[in-house]
Amino acid sequence: MGLNAEYSTEAPDRREIDALRDATVLEFGTGWCGFCRGAQPLIAEAFAAFPQVRHLKIEDGPGRPLGRSFRVKLWPTLVFLRDGVEVARIVRPGSAAEIAEALQVLGAAPAGD
């Protein structure tokens, strides 16, 4: 579990995502996207307190069906899933607190609580 550093070019199938159990965050973006690079410190700061949450960092773009299935339009987009069901979404996060709040919506408790 925990934070992934690089966007994966190998995306799971949507059925695999829907079947996931527990708390998962899908992060859609690309390594060359300025907004994505700018958001990385905020995402890392928020996830530091929630190491038990699964983080899947998926490269998105034309011809990438997983991002289309979640109707991703802007990067980065964070989709917060509990047992495969979307419970929150943040597009172009502006603060670590905003991300941490969505992580708590998942039912995740900060480490050490």
102 is catalytic: no
Kindly give, in sequence order, each residue whose CB lies less than 8 Å from that of residue 6, ignoring residues fewer than 6 positions away.
31, 57
84 is catalytic: no
- Using CA atoms, how far apart are residues 24 and 55, in angstroms rounded to an integer? 6
Give pTM, 2 decimals.
0.94
Q: Which of 8-22, 47-61, 98-112 has the lowest mean pLDDT?
A: 98-112
Which of the following is catalytic: 33, 39, 78, 81? 33
**3-state SS class at 101:** helix
pLDDT tens string 21-67: 999 999 999 999 999 999 999 999 999 999 999 999 999 999 999 99
Which of the following is catalytic: 25, 36, 39, 56? 36
Q: What is the mean pLDDT of the chain?
A: 94
- Using CA atoms, how far apart are residues 37 and 47, in angstroms rounded to an integer? 16
